């Protein structure tokens, strides 16, 4: 009997050794995989994976189903809608062209007529990129109208909005209106309330943006000056049934903020707009017609007016981050999602990421050795008021990171830039450049800085593929960027003083650090990626 137990013990030990060998081999494979490409290549892969998760065709297929057995029904968000060639479609935003193409494939001959307002040049861009499946077919029943150059409302977008308004006003109780909404929809659906002109509304938007107003504040003001926003489109479509498929590009996924809420009752009044203007000292600078429109007596709409509306969010920044996390793990990184709601002025946000990188690098050496950075980060996070960030919990997780393990930190949201110069750039490129400057200053002033022991990459990119009025989605940076730029005769601080980040990145190493994706035809705000790995294993 003793011999039997001895044999069983030996077999067990051999089995355990094999398991350990396989585990170590797998870890070694992942570590080798992690170091087989540059951080920039990995960053691009993770970013593209995040964007892929919220591509229009993928989201539409997950969200709507046509059932033809018996009485045809369209199933959206768990609700069923009877259809019999009584379906109309309108859309506006950076992602709706691909959404419309996929929707038409699903609903087929039940579609009577459609009209979408999309960014100027997107059809040509998708054609050149070989993304023909995101384009409508030549015999499509959906009309495409382009406008809003550089994401600003213009005459072409106004004409499209008026056409959409005409279509919805002609619907009856027997009709079903499918509304496709995505980021950028606000600029593509301008219909100012009289006597406000489009030019006056544009002027106000530019004034607020230059002061650093948030997207929530911009949309609060814009919808109060619009016939179709703030629930106006849904009211125009009554008594038809309205079903909205929404791709969120705002923090918190607030339905009345996304594209300024054309199919939901507004939670803001004209007095809220006047408070925003006062916050930025613009109450005396706005056009007279705007001030007159905002001073009219108004009341919040009755939610009972919207019983004919069914709104469904089909994609968001959180969904993109979840997919990015999976890809980072496949590449051998230990991934951690921080938040999908990072917002604030770009100077503060860049300081947040700089402190975070410093802290992670110190934790990877010895947790608890950089208490000052930890205190500073906790204080700044409280000031930024990032709603879904559990920083204490994240810090505890970071303390468990094994020394030498490659780490990936992920976040999303949308920062704001207080314009002071006349340069060319976008919030993502400016954020990357400011993070580089912050890390450079830390290396120059702190003797005990741990940054030099690690390869570090920071990426910030817009999921729509367009960062400000540029052809870049964003940019990469490293702690060495500022020093390398100085060797090329480029003064980072001078470029930042002019808000000229795009010009800097275009000149620096011939644009190698720009993130160029082309228009993606989707939009769920911005993605930030931090990659950190030990230099000893490179």
Nearest Cα residue to 336 out of 430, 378, 399, 382: 399
| CATH 3.40.1480.10 residue window(s) in the chain | 318-537
Parallel, antiparallel, or unpaired for β 142-147 and 111-119?
parallel
What's the CA gap between 220 and 256, in Å, rounded?
Answer: 9
pLDDT score at 28? 45
Q: What angle do CA 356, 322, 435 make, to 5 degrees?
A: 25
- DSSP at 54: T
Residue 236's Cα: distance from chain center in Å?
29
Residue 436's Cα: distance from chain center in Å?
22
Architecture of the domain spanning 52-316 = 3-Layer(aba) Sandwich (3.40)
| CATH 3.40.50.10180 residue window(s) in the chain | 52-316
Query: Which residue is it, tokens 């800097």?
Result: 504
pLDDT score at 231? 94
Q: What is the pLDDT along the chain (538 residues), one digit of tens a residue?
A: 556 656 655 665 655 555 444 444 444 444 445 556 899 999 999 999 999 999 988 899 899 999 988 889 999 988 999 998 899 999 999 999 999 999 999 999 999 999 999 999 989 988 888 888 889 999 999 999 999 988 888 999 999 999 999 999 999 999 999 999 998 898 999 999 999 999 998 888 889 988 888 878 888 888 889 999 999 999 999 999 999 999 999 998 989 889 989 999 988 888 889 999 999 999 888 888 988 888 877 655 565 689 999 999 999 999 999 999 999 999 999 999 999 999 999 999 999 999 999 999 988 887 766 788 889 999 999 999 998 899 889 988 888 888 778 999 999 999 999 888 999 999 999 999 999 999 999 999 876 677 888 999 999 999 999 999 999 999 999 999 999 999 999 999 999 999 999 999 999 999 999 999 988 888 899 999 999 998 875 4
Secondary structure of residue 418 in the 3-state scheme: coil
pLDDT score at 27? 47
Strands (E), 316-396: 334-345
Contact 352, 381 (CB under 8 A): yes
pLDDT score at 13? 61
**Which residues have a Cβ under 8 Å from the Cβ of 485 and sit 6 or more positions away?**
491, 492, 504, 508
329-356 CB burial, b ≥16 within 10 A, e <16: eebbbbbbbbbbbbbbbbbebbbbbbbb
Contact 179, 233 (CB under 8 A): yes
- DSSP at 150: G
What's the CA gap between 283 and 39, in Å, rounded?
Answer: 47
Q: pTM for the full model?
A: 0.81
What's the CA gap between 184 and 249, in Å, rounded?
Answer: 8
pLDDT score at 26? 44
What are the residue ranges of helices labelled H in 446-528? 481-487, 492-497, 501-507
Parallel, antiparallel, or unpaired for β 64-67 and 73-76?
antiparallel
> What's the CATH class of domain 318-537?
alpha beta
């Amino acid at each position: 009997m003793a011999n039997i137990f001895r044999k069983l013990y030996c077999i067990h030990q051999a089995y355990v050794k094999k398991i350990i060998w396989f585990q170590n081999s797998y870890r070694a494979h992942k570590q080798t995989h992690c170091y087989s490409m540059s951080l920039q290549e990995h960053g691009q892969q993770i970013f593209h994976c995040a964007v892929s998760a919220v591509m229009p065709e993928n989201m539409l297929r997950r969200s709507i189903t046509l059932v033809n057995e018996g009485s045809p029904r369209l199933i959206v968000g768990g609700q069923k809608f009877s259809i019999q060639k009584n379906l109309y479609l309108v859309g506006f935003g950076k992602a709706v062209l691909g959404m419309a193409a996929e929707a038409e494939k699903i609903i087929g001959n039940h579609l009577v007529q459609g009209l979408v307002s999309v960014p100027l040049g997107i059809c040509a861009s998708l054609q050149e990129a070989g993304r023909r499946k995101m384009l409508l077919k030549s015999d499509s029943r959906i009309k495409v109208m382009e406008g809003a150059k550089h994401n600003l409302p213009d005459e072409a977008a106004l004409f499209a909005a008026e056409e959409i308004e005409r279509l919805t006003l002609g619907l009856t109780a027997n009709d079903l209106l499918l509304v496709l909404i995505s980021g950028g929809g606000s600029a593509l659906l301008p219909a100012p309330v009289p006597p406000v002109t489009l030019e006056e509304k544009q002027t106000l938007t530019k004034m607020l943006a230059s002061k650093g107003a948030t997207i929530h504040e911009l949309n609060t003001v814009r919808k109060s000056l619009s016939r179709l926003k703030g629930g106006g489109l849904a009211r125009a479509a009554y008594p038809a049934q309205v079903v909205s498929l929404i791709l969120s590009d705002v923090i918190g996924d607030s339905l009345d903020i996304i594209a300024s809420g054309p199919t939901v009752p507004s939670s803001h009044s004209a007095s809220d707009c006047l408070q925003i203007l006062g916050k930025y000292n613009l109450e005396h600078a706005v056009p007279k017609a705007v001030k007159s429109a905002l001073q009219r007596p108004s009341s919040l709409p009755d939610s009972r007016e919207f019983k004919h509306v069914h709104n469904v969010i089909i994609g968001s920044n959180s969904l993109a981050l979840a997919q990015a996390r999976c890809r980072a793990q496949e590449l051998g990184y230990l991934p951690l999602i921080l938040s999908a709601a990072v917002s604030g002025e770009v100077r503060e946000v860049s300081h947040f990421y700089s402190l975070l990188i410093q802290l992670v690098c110190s934790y990877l050496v010895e947790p608890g050795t950089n208490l000052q950075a930890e205190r500073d980060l906790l204080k700044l996070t409280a000031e930024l008021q990032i709603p879904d960030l559990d920083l204490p919990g994240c810090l505890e997780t970071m303390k468990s990171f094994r020394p030498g393990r490659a780490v990936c930190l992920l976040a999303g949201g949308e920062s704001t830039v207080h314009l002071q110069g006349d340069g060319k750039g976008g919030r993502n490129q400016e954020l990357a450049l400011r993070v580089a400057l912050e890390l450079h200053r830390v290396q120059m002033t702190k003797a005990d800085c741990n940054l030099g022991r690690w390869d570090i990459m920071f990426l910030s990119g817009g999921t729509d593929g367009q960062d400000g009025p540029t052809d870049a989605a964003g940019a990469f940076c490293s702690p060495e960027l500022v020093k390398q730029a100085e060797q090329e005769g480029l003064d980072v601080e001078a470029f930042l003083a002019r808000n000229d980040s795009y010009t800097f990145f275009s000149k620096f190493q011939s644009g190698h650090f720009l993130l160029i994706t082309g228009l993606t035809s989707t939009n769920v705000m911005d993605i930030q990626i931090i990659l950190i790995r030990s230099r000893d294993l490179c």
